[in-house]
Amino acid sequence: MTTAAPLHCLAITGEFTIFTAAAWREQMLAALAAADEIEMDLSQVSEIDSAGLQLMVAAKREATEQGKVLRFSGHSAAVLDTLDLTDLSAHFGDPVLIHSAD
């Protein structure tokens, strides 16, 4: 029997959209299989659409069902704007930085 690593970090970079969803899904599933605690860094996400949001929701649900911890961190401006637009920030339970209106 193998034990999962205590923490796995996955950086989501570039587009997190319908065009990249399949590749990111595989990486997210591998991260969930590899560790009991996963941190997904969203600081380099340049674009996100409903497919990216759907993957975030599905990954959080899967982690919870498996008794694992999944955190999203470093939310880029694109991610923050989309979370704000969809009012999903509270769903994930992760702290997010609020950008000031300049």
38 lies in some domain: yes
5 lies in some domain: no
Q: Is the dihedral of CA 74, 78, 80, 83 positive or negative?
A: negative
Instruction: Report the domain count for the chain.
Output: 1
For residue 97, pLDDT over 60 is answered with no
61 lies in some domain: yes
pTM of the full structure: 0.83
99 lies in some domain: no
In angstroms, rounded to a whole number, what is the distance separating the alpha carbons of residues 16 and 46? 8
Question: DSSP state, 67?
Answer: T
In angstroms, rounded to a whole number, what is the distance separating the alpha carbons of residues 53 and 64? 17
Domain with residue 30: its CATH number is 3.30.750.24
Q: CB within 8 A of 39, min separation 6: which ones?
A: 7, 8, 9, 10, 70, 71, 72, 73
What number is the average pLDDT over the span 3-10?
Answer: 78
Of the pLDDT bands very low, low, confident and very high (cuts 50, 70, 90), residue 4 is: low
The domain containing residue 73 runs over which residues?
10-90
95 lies in some domain: no
Q: Mean pLDDT across the chain, nearest whole number?
A: 88
2 lies in some domain: no
In angstroms, rounded to a whole number, what is the distance separating the alpha carbons of residues 43 and 35? 21
What number is the average pLDDT over the span 2-10?
Answer: 76
For residue 21, pLDDT over 90 is answered with yes
**Model confidence pLDDT, tens digit, residues 50-96:** 999 999 999 999 999 999 999 999 999 999 999 989 888 877 777 66
